[in-house]
A and B are shown apart, each in its own frame.
Chain A
Amino acid sequence: MDTQPEPTASELRQIVREGIAVAVATGTYGISVGAVGVSSGLSVAQTCALSLLVFTGASQFAFIGVIASGGAPLLGAASGILLGARNTLYGLRLGALLGWRGARRAAAAHLVIDESAAMSVTRGSTSAARTGFLTTGIGVFVLWNLATLGGALAGESLGDPRDYGLDAAVGGAFLALLWPRLDSITSRAAALLAAALALALVPLTPAGVPVLAAAVVALGLALSGRPR
């Protein structure tokens, strides 16, 4: 796996700095999970448990969204699990790169999220990938859970989080994650098709289904495109 030279100490420090920056930005956004969770009818403890146990933002929002719309909690769990399937795909890329086995792999698994994957998957060596993964993963975990608690406690006194645009912050954050990935014709086409399919399904299916259905776009494009 290690085909590139080991990173220098200063390169590792740069990776740590980037990881901390992403952790601060993403962790802060846990405030909206806390506020939206409480405003949708979950208790403070339940909202915090979601961040500790589920620890993957989109799944938490999907869960909360179903609760907020009056859906059954188990339907919320199902939507969250469907969305969590994308972390499996990150793991596919990270497993060999990080090179952990046994207990370390089991512990690292909980930290596999959008941001920790993004900050490690492009690294050229195992030590650089582990540095990016751990800095981002642990940083987001700590800050995300603290922010969730803060948002859940404040949410009850702050009233409707929409007055502060917190519901729009979600879309903005996802757009910021998506932006650097729109670097080819194929990925732009995939994005357009996925958005169109998801929007078409919104009025027709329960919350959570449109997003997962969009995964079919990836499979379709992968099947239709020949390796070049």
Chain B
Amino acid sequence: MTWIAIVACGLACYLLKLAGLSVPERVLEQPLVQRVGDLLPVVLLTALIAVQVFSNAEGAHPTLTLDARVAGLGAAAVALVLRAPFLVVVLVAAATAALVRLL
């Protein structure tokens, strides 16, 4: 069942990518489509961060939690303010969370 799910997920994700590349231009020129497209990366990424950092999905039902990941996110934000490159931001987030868990 796990293999079926992996292949199905891969195939569907590929078709979603291809569908986007294949949409005719006249549809894309609709102002509403353009405005949604402008905002989508921001809302998707923000929601991903919120879920990745503040939720615990280990039990039967996901719950909101505060743990070392929050410190990691805060440190990542500081690194970004200091204009650190992508990899440094990621490493700072990981190292900070690991350190907080050690303490």
Once A168-B96, A214-B44 are accepted as A-B contacts, the answer to whether A88 and B17 lie under 8 Å apart by CB is: yes
| Count, A-B residue pairs, CB within 8 A | 321
Count class of interface residues, chain B: 35 or more
Cβ-defined contact, A175 with B23, below 8 A: no
Q: A169 to B52: give the CA distance in the assembly, Å.
A: 10
Once A25-B87, A168-B94, A219-B36 are accepted as A-B contacts, the answer to whether A92 and B20 lie under 8 Å apart by CB is: yes
Within 8 A of B (CB), among A192-224: 192-195, 197-199, 202-203, 205-207, 210-211, 213-215, 217-219, 221-223
CB distance from A134 to the nearest CB of B (A): 14
Cβ-defined contact, B16 with A88, below 8 A: yes
Cβ-defined contact, B47 with A194, below 8 A: yes
Q: Choose among B16, B46, B53, B63 the residue that contacts A81 (Cβ–Cβ < 8 A).
A: B16
Partner-binding segment picked from A2-10, A122-130, A148-156, A158-166: A158-166
Cβ-defined contact, B9 with A81, below 8 A: yes
How many residues of chain A get a CB closer than 8 Å to chain B's CBs?
A: 105
Within 8 A of A (CB), among B1-39: 1-14, 16-23, 25, 28, 31-33, 35-39
Cβ-defined contact, B69 with A223, below 8 A: no
Once A175-B89, A199-B64, A203-B64 are accepted as A-B contacts, the answer to whether A165 and B97 lie under 8 Å apart by CB is: yes
CB distance from B63 to the nearest CB of A (A): 6
Once A21-B85, A195-B50 are accepted as A-B contacts, the answer to whether A172 and B92 lie under 8 Å apart by CB is: yes
Q: A77-B8, A87-B20 are in contact. List 5 more A-B contacts (CB 8 A).
A: A42-B2, A94-B21, A168-B97, A178-B49, A203-B61
A-B residue pairs, 7 tightest by C-beta = A91-B20, A172-B93, A53-B10, A168-B72, A168-B97, A214-B47, A165-B97
